[in-house]
Amino acid sequence: MSKSKILIALSILFLIGSVAFDFSQKKSFANSLQNIKDERTQIAYVADLKALWGAKGMKSKLTRVINSIPSSKKKNFLVKRNKAEIKLVSLSDRELNRVLSKLANLPLEFRKLSVVKSGDNFDLECTCVW
């Protein structure tokens, strides 16, 4: 075999090798990229969940909501670590709506929620954690 033929044969081998390298990289890139994107989506999703339901400073936010109710109607408001026990009595329907909607807007986990009509007013009892 002449030198030129050997040269061309080597070049063709080089080309085949590089095409195979490119193909393998492309394939592994596609697989890895999908995995990486899935991982990133999961991290972002979990981080969002954690940020939402593991939010800090909940005690002060909750205190602000409860303090918007006249103190005469606050029968119980006890916060222990990340748990709060609330009992509000004689709430007008407007007050009840306001407190309920504000509590619902906070990322709290309701363990107990009870509303009972008493005369023209309402009593609200709730235990929540965060």
Partner 1 sequence: MLSSNGKLILLHKGLNSIPKASKYDLLLSPEFYISKIEKLPVKYSFQAKKLAPSILEDSLPTNNIYEYFVKKDANSWQLFAYSPKEIEEFLKSCCKIDANKIGNIYFADQLKDILVKVPVGVDEKNALTLIDGKATIVPRSMLTSQNYAKFTSKLRPKKAFKFHLASKSSKDSKLDKNSIIVSVLLSLIAIAFIVEGISYKKALKQEEEKTANLLSNNPSLQGKMIRDSIKNKYEKIEKRERSIRELLNKYSQLSSKKSVLEKLNIEGNKLVAQFNVEPNEINHILSIAKTINLKATKLGSNKVQVEGVLK
**Minimal distance, residue 72 CB to partner 1, in Å:** 22
Draw the binding track, 81-120, toward partner 1 (x: CB under 8 A; -: no contact).
----------------x--x---x--xxxx-xxxxxx---
Report the distance separating Cα 57 and Cα 117, nearest Å. 32
- The nearer residue to partner 1, 75 or 117, going by C-beta atoms, is 117
29 is a contact residue toward partner 1 (CB under 8 A): yes
Residue 111: strand, helix, or coil = strand
CB atoms closer than 10 angstroms to residue 110? 11
Pick from 61, 59, 128, 125: nearest CA to 96: 125
User: With left for phi above 0 and alpha for psi between -120 and 50, is residue 12 left, alpha or beta?
Assistant: alpha
- The size of the interface with partner 1 (CB under 8 A), counted in residues, is 52
In DSSP notation, 79-102 reads EETTEEEEEEEEE-HHHHHHHHHH
54 is a contact residue toward partner 1 (CB under 8 A): yes
**Minimal distance, residue 43 CB to partner 1, in Å:** 5
Footprint of partner 1 (CB under 8 A): 2-5, 7-8, 10-12, 14-15, 17-19, 21-22, 24-26, 28-29, 32-33, 36-37, 39-40, 42-47, 49-50, 52-54, 97, 100, 104, 107-110, 112-117, 122
